[in-house]
Chain A
Amino acid sequence: MFLKMVKNDLVRNKIVTVTVFVFITMAVILAASAIHNIASLIQGMSKFQESAEPADITVMHAGEFDQAKIDQFTEQYREHIAVQETMVLQNIDGSDIQIGQHQTMAETIQDISFVVQNKNFDFILDINNERLDVKEGYVAVPIYFMEQYDLHIGDSITVKSGWYEKMFVISDYARDYEMNSPLTSSKRFVINQSDYNQMLKMQAGELEYLIEFKLNEGGDAAAVQTAYNEAGLPANGPIIEGKIFTMFNAMSDMVVALVIIFISMLLIVIAALCIRLTFLATIDEDIKEIGVMKAMGISQKGIKKIYLSKYKVVSIAAGIIGYLLSFAAVNLLNGNRRLYIASDLSGNLNYLLALIAPIFVYVMIVLYCNRVLKRVDKISAVEALRSDIMERSKKRKYSFPLQKNKFLSLNSYMGLRDIGKRFKLYRLLFVIYIVCTFIVILPVNMYNTLNSPEFSSYMGIGKQDMRIDLRRTDRITDDFITLQEEFKNDNDIEKYAPYITSSYQVKHADGTWHNLNIEIGDFSVFPLKFLEGRAPEEEGEISLSLANAAEDGLNKKVGDKVTVEAGGKEQTLTVTGIYQDITNGGKTAKAHTSLGVNEASVLWYIVSINLAEGVAIREKMNYYQNAYSTAQVNNIEEYTKQTLGTIIDQMEIVVIGGISIAIIIAILVTALFLRMLLAKDMSQIAIMRSVGLTLRQISYQYMAGTLMVLLVGIILGALAANFLGELLVSMGMSSMGASKIEFVHVIWQTWLLCPVVLLAAVGLTILMSCKAAVKDDLSAVLRS
């Protein structure tokens, strides 16, 4: 009887077994490769860090500079500081760098500088994580640009600035721990010392200094920063802590890996649901046999073993195969990591760690099976043999009588009422359709959100057509003034507003002073979305970015006071609002113009511009770009796109993957479910046919039922993706400085395209499944 049952089960549920197998395999592939990638990401990051030896504190400064004072400071804080080194950047405008015949790098939002390799630390590496050693006439180009402009080793770029003109041949990719990420707004090109000296001599670029500190083990970064500020040392640019670089480097890969692990979890849930469905179906059918076995004295354990052993075998096989296949899948999604962080990694630790996935899946499946099999315990021998009688005695109120159907055709009504009658069965399908819709719509929403102009509101920028950034130069203030004069007279400009960001000292709760970059200007012209409160409108008002207002920042709420020092004068400002910002490490602030510019440490000038209707944005951009060589003109959409480029690209893969997985799941599960349902309903179908219904009419019933479940599933899944998904993504993004992401819904995609794709896939599957279930002779079923 044992053998007979196992054999029966295999024959009866061939498709189920295969489907469960496929799902488990897919889950293992995804989870194992994601774990593998996380492990190699961590390993790669640490190797990368080892070779690059990034600075613990980096101060950016443009303008007057005295190294002697810095040396003095370094000596004074020897207990914290191990080494200090200053890197001198020669900033070159993107429009001065020519690629090929006609193209320049003018469009980039990145600051470009030419440097030589440091002596002590913060090394820029090649693609093999070796320190770059660039020969004369050659250049190592940041990976970001190699990708963006599709450059190759051997191509050449020409730098043309003032009197200076030189062609460089690209000899290497420059892998730059500190400035790899598109989220860091500067990129460093590495050249040979003699080329560098010549450039310096001809004053090709504006100079900027990176004053870098490497701390002793256990050195206190915050203390050094405070001391640096208090010493009044040059710092008119941002001060950056080393760990931010690490986060920027790892972020996009981490996000993708986590999304994949999430999808793989959903797959495990689906596999579990399929197993549940089969168990319920087979145990129902075998209920008499179970009773007989119990009556014969076979223990419950023994009986369960029969059911369990199959899924043990299936999950072990799927685990092994999935694990092996994950080796191939691993490289599909780590292209970014291999390029930016580490190309090839030795060691087998990743493989070992990836083993967690199949083991975890196996344990989950077995635990779940055991849970479902609790049902066997409840079947007593007598009960099992009398299950018919049990059923008969149940008196329930008759629901959905045919006479009540006023609007639908008989077959649609039969299909729909079946859901009500057997909701327990359809529930599984329902859950799976919700999950499928979720898997499709969540990535689509994320993709659309990242890609939309509205995303700028998470970057602390109000909605605007175009923005001009002025680089730190000696002419910056003059340029800023002439620019504004010109705007006043330009009829194509509907409105504009200048913003100046400078660095101030702010008092923390513990009384210590820290740097805070505050942007001042009129924030009513280009209103920014506020999480809480409003923009600063009057004297004495300030608003903080979420990360700044958070507990590990200034720990302030709307209405609290903040003490700021500028030019030796202390001012107390009231917090009027909190906004989201993922730029500059998430820590920014905005204040009313009356706060005054901190002349000593102006960081940057920005002018936001809206053009009059009908003005060609591209032409305007070109005009201002050419007229002001130190300006960087961007339209805002491009700005967000370039900043988020890698994440958007990876999200694209996830969207496509999500849609394919969802469709595969929807098709497989629907086919599986209908096969089971049709087998269960074989006699009912035969009865309907004997009465005179055509097969088409009967499949219509199943179609109506299943599609109804799908429709409701799509609606709930889309709602879940929109609301729950928003919550999930916001949680994930909160560490970056945005805690309340509002998805951009593209209505036709959410409510038309996704449903239509799923409906078509499922509808076709239903049609095929119903066709496949046809047996020609009715008598075979009717007289059994």
Chain B
Amino acid sequence: MTNIIEASSMTKRVALGKNTELSILRDINLKVKKGEFLSVMGPSGSGKSTLLYNISGMDRMTSGSVKYQGREIGSLKEEDLAKIRLGTMGFIFQDINLLKNLSLIDNIMFPALAAADANKHTISQKAKQLMKMTGIEKIADHTSTQGSGGQLQRVGICRALINNPDIIFGDEPTGALDSKATEEIMSILAEINKTGTTVMLVTHDVKVAAKTERILFMIDGKIVSQKKMRKYDARQDDRKEREESIMKWLMENGL
């Protein structure tokens, strides 16, 4: 299997004052396989979000290299990065980040319309189909102020999926949701992953991590440890064990 992401010796520093710099990411080496379902954990401020933003090219890393689908992210122009994001990446955020003046369905259609490689009718069919799949078809014409957190997060997922991405990044997508909604969102993501889409999540929630097949653990901007598991399968009733083993692993790493 080929790697969709290959990061080596990647760092991110930001200037704080005139002469002071803060290292947020140090010496990141990471390979993500195509079709993998992985999660990133770690204490608050350890650099998890920053990792996502930098390997996806939304932020510019300070040094090192990130290859995305074989192309060096660091040497791409803003325009090309945007094109890659539009066509091959999907993002889900904790606070969803919908466009305020668009209805929910328009938010979902927006990236497809921007890519403009299908006609409007096809796009709107696709959006409706996605909304149906995630169970929010009834609120299509609402605005972003008129939905519950769980509903809106599904809108975020639909938007991330509309252009058939190769990878989905989620920065604590379930962070603001109750356990029932979290459960539902995770099963949607698992479904997506089954179709071959790579999924990479940042989470604090062991229950979320338990449904992924690899967990990275970060402290102080470094990936200090990782844990591999079998792919989760709801039919094998091993959720409890997975969660417990993760807890144990986290403790070992000093959390």
Contacts and interface: CB of A to CB of B under 8 A. Distances in A.
A247 to B, nearest CB: 59
Interface in B74-108: 78-79, 82-87, 89, 91, 93-94, 97-103, 106
A694 B81 CA distance: 9
A690 B103 contact: no
A683 B99 CA distance: 9
A367 interface: no
B99 A684 contact: yes
Nearest to A781: B97
A689 B110 contact: no
A777 B53 CA distance: 9
Given A402-B106, A779-B53, A779-B58, A692 B86 contact: yes
A490 B116 CA distance: 75
Interface of chain A, helix or strand or loop or mixed? helix
21 contacts: A398-B141, A403-B124, A410-B113, A410-B114, A421-B101, A422-B101, A683-B97, A689-B82, A691-B114, A692-B82, A692-B87, A694-B78, A694-B79, A695-B82, A777-B53, A777-B58, A777-B59, A778-B53, A782-B97, A783-B93, A783-B171
A421 B102 CA distance: 10
A418 B101 contact: yes
A301 interface: no
B143 to A, nearest CB: 6
A143 B91 CA distance: 79
Interface in A682-702: 683-684, 686-697
Interface in A754-784: 776-779, 782-783
B48 to A, nearest CB: 11
Contacts of B84: 692
A690 B101 contact: no
Contacts of A684: 99-100
Contact of A778 (B58, B111, B143): B58
Interface of B: 49-50, 53, 58-60, 78-79, 82-87, 89, 91, 93-94, 97-103, 106, 109-111, 113-116, 120, 124, 141, 143, 145-146, 159, 163, 171
Contact of A693 (B102, B114, B141): B114
Interface in A378-410: 391-392, 395, 398, 401-403, 410
A417 interface: yes
Contacts of B87: 692
Interface in A706-739: none
A391 B100 CA distance: 12
B89 to A, nearest CB: 7
Contacts of B163: 692
Nearest to A687: B97
Of residues A684, A688, A692, A777, which shows the largest number of chain B Cβ atoms within 10 Å of its Cβ? A692
A690 B99 contact: no
A395 to B, nearest CB: 7
B70 to A, nearest CB: 19
Contacts of B113: 402, 410
Nearest to B90: A691
A693 B101 contact: no
A226 B160 CA distance: 95
A402 B110 contact: yes
B101 A776 contact: no
Contact of B93 (A392, A395, A782): A782
B45 to A, nearest CB: 12
For the complex of A and B, 4 pairs with smallest distance between CB atoms: A692-B86, A692-B85, A779-B53, A777-B59
Contact of A687 (B94, B99, B114): B99
B57 to A, nearest CB: 9
Nearest to A420: B101
A109 B135 CA distance: 89
B53 to A, nearest CB: 4
Nearest to B116: A410
